[in-house]
A = this chain, B = another copy of it.
């Protein structure tokens, strides 16, 4: 898969010889480096997000497993240009441990490393336990903004500040209609009856907050967006980025129907959408379902969100 990914980059990235990591060929001296990464099986997340104004490199784990500390360390050394490195990844125990070990190794080498963990999944824990929230499709907007900031700002402090602000303002909730499978075995990650859906399902089949009978798109959308809006909270006068992410086997037709309903809710609440993204970015193999991500924007976040960006797995800008 990684060989195919490198080929798909048409010469812009290389794979590290002994590690499952890719890095951009051309990273300017003195650039604040952005290293992303996580388990495989969610393509194009993470390793499809190395590119122009996105990640400088990605450390790839096995399917649904964190990359090793050694792989993260070597990827970090390969993207380092002497001005520090931002680690940006989803908040999972395995990733946290391995990225932290790598960060310690790098600090021993005298390299400044900062860490921002994406923790946008509203369903994973209540608001007073943000550190227990998982990172899901909010990754897309976070990498977009961090990538823009790391391309334009020459201070790791500043890149960290912007990225952290984005993280504080992003919320996601998903729904699964059918399960994805484990590639090695073909087995489904969980069981769900034909007429059932799971609200708040995690990206590896982690239990959500409710299992219920199939409903209309409007009813499901209302349920998701109510939880999202009340969590931050989002409210009248807010300007947001909206991202509807396909978990794998969902049709764009269905996501557009969801988008229509979302916009009616936003109109009622006085929320303005600055930019809409509808597509397939963080998948769980062939899982059917989708998630809705909202990020509250200010002028600074808008600026980085709107910067052109391009990679194998992402660009709608």
Contacts and interface: CB of A to CB of B under 8 A. Distances in A.
Contact of A310 (B4, B273, B317): B317
Q: How many copies does the complex hold?
A: 2
Contacts of A288: 249, 286
B251 A8 contact: no
A7 B310 contact: no
Contacts of A193: none
A279 B251 CA distance: 14
A315 interface: yes
Contact of A259 (B7, B273, B280, B314): B7
Contacts of A293: none
Contacts of A251: 41, 43, 183, 248, 283, 285-286
A286 B289 CA distance: 11
Contact of A4 (B246, B249, B256, B308): B256
Interface string A200-229: 000000000000000000000000000000
B40 A253 contact: yes
Given A8-B259, A44-B252, 20 more contacts: A4-B257, A4-B260, A4-B263, A5-B256, A5-B259, A7-B273, A8-B276, A8-B278, A9-B276, A10-B275, A41-B253, A43-B253, A183-B253, A249-B286, A251-B285, A252-B283, A278-B312, A310-B317, A314-B316, A315-B316
6 contacts: A4-B260, A10-B273, A48-B252, A250-B286, A276-B312, A315-B315
Interface residues of A, number: 49
Contacts of A191: none
A253 B1 contact: yes
Interface in A262-317: 263, 273-276, 278-280, 283, 285-286, 288, 308, 310-317
A173 interface: no
Candidate in A9, A263, A274 with the most chain B CB atoms within 10 angstroms? A263
CB-CB nearest 8 A-B residue pairs: A4-B256, A43-B252, A249-B249, A4-B260, A4-B259, A3-B260, A7-B263, A1-B256
Contacts of A183: 251, 253
A258 interface: yes
Nearest to A280: B280
Contacts of A253: 1, 40-41, 43, 183, 285
A259 to B, nearest CB: 4
Contacts of A258: 4
A1 B248 contact: no
A311 B3 CA distance: 29
Contacts of A256: 1-5, 8, 43
Interface string A68-86: 0000000000000000000
A248 B254 CA distance: 13
Contacts of A260: 1, 3-4, 7
Nearest to A194: B186
A260 B278 CA distance: 28
